[in-house]
Structure 1
């Protein structure tokens, strides 16, 4: 074999090895997706009214920042303030819910609030205040749940417990365990 044949064969082998190396060390599609996983959009200092399937107001949201995630269409929030109106015909009044962070499902039917969560309702003279570190709110069904410690403050009483189910329209709140109550006389 001539030196040109040997050189051609060596260059052909080197090209095959280079091609194989480039193919096996290419970035995966998952890495490309992660790099492109930035927000669809960001909102700053905004108010958003979300409607339910019947066209009624499910909740209103005020926050300094909202970030929508393109993959699952959920939204992350910084220091949100939600107002959740009562169902038509209910006398419970509007709930105002504040927290450090928030998350809204793609359909807008679940809110996850974390960090110093406070929910208040002052309708009908029977003010109620819920305080917890985590609260899940379901605006369509006017329900709220918590798996953590909850403090409920009402005129004349303070209740503390672990875990909670609440029907927001009727202000019916059930603490699941470790319930402790304290009578607080009205000042007057």
Structure 2
């Protein structure tokens, strides 16, 4: 009886090894392939050295966005833009900004929303210099409005404020930090 156990042991061990190999490779692949295939969105248009200008109802430009590359995705009705630089036109205050990437989408009212992501910087150079830095910012250029729920740093010539979330009314030269605000101010 002991001899039959010795002869069966290599067969049982081999069967276990085959089952383990099948489960770790073949079984996993079957489960992953059993669902519907995931399709990445396909860009319809690609452009390099891009300049997007938006105008109001009278044809007056209110912002301009430049970038080295952009792609339009018709299924999402969005532009995805690499390394955008943005500049307000016709606003009372001179604002400009940049980010690592952006998504531009049309809103229901016919205007556009620009979601800037990755080291977003929005600067006002005059009349009172101010820099807003955040990882993500939604800009509505037609309304001269921007907002974020992410961490924000505001820097002026003699001050630095940090907080969570911000709203900015660009024409009014007003920025509101929403929560957890801390700051320092150096007097002249």
User: Are 2:121 and 1:118 aligned?
Assistant: yes
Q: Quote the Cα distance in structure 1 between the aligned partners of 2:154 and 2:132.
A: 5
Structural mapping, 1:38-49, within 5 Å: 38-49=42-53
1:168 alignment counterpart: 170
The list of structure 1 runs, each at least 4 consecutive aligned residues, that deviate by more than 6 angstroms after superposition, is none
Selected match of 1:59 from 58, 63, 71 = 63
Q: Quote the Cα distance in structure 1 between the aligned partners of 2:111 and 2:44.
A: 16
Could you tell me the TM-score, scaled by structure 1's length? 0.73
Q: What displacement does 1:52 show?
A: 2.5
1:101 alignment counterpart: 101
Q: Quote the Cα distance in structure 2 between the aligned partners of 1:165 and 1:121.
A: 15
Q: What displacement does 1:72 show?
A: 3.1
Q: What displacement does 1:86 show?
A: 4.0
1:184 alignment counterpart: 186
- Contact residue 158 and residue 184 of structure 1 kept, 8 A: no
1:143 alignment counterpart: 145
- Contact residue 86 and residue 142 of structure 1 kept, 8 A: no
- Contact residue 61 and residue 90 of structure 2 kept, 8 A: no
After superposition, the Cα gap between the structure-2 partners of 1:46 and 1:143, relative to the gap in structure 1 and judged at 3 Å, is same
Structural mapping, 1:146-161, within 5 Å: 146-161=148-163
Could you tell me the TM-score, scaled by structure 2's length? 0.73
User: Are 2:81 and 1:77 aligned?
Assistant: yes
Q: What residue ranges of structure 2 are gaps of 5+ in the alignment? A: 1-35
1:10 alignment counterpart: none
Find the residue that maps to 2:112 and give its secondary structure. coil
Q: Count residues in correspondence.
A: 150
1:136-178 CA-to-partner distances (Å, cap 9, x unmatched) read 0011111100100100111211111001111001111110100
Which structure carries more strand by proportion? Answer: 2
CA RMSD of aligned residues (A): 2.0
Q: What displacement does 1:185 show?
A: 4.6
Selected match of 1:131 from 127, 130, 133 = 133
Q: Quote the Cα distance in structure 1 between the aligned partners of 2:103 and 2:51.
A: 15
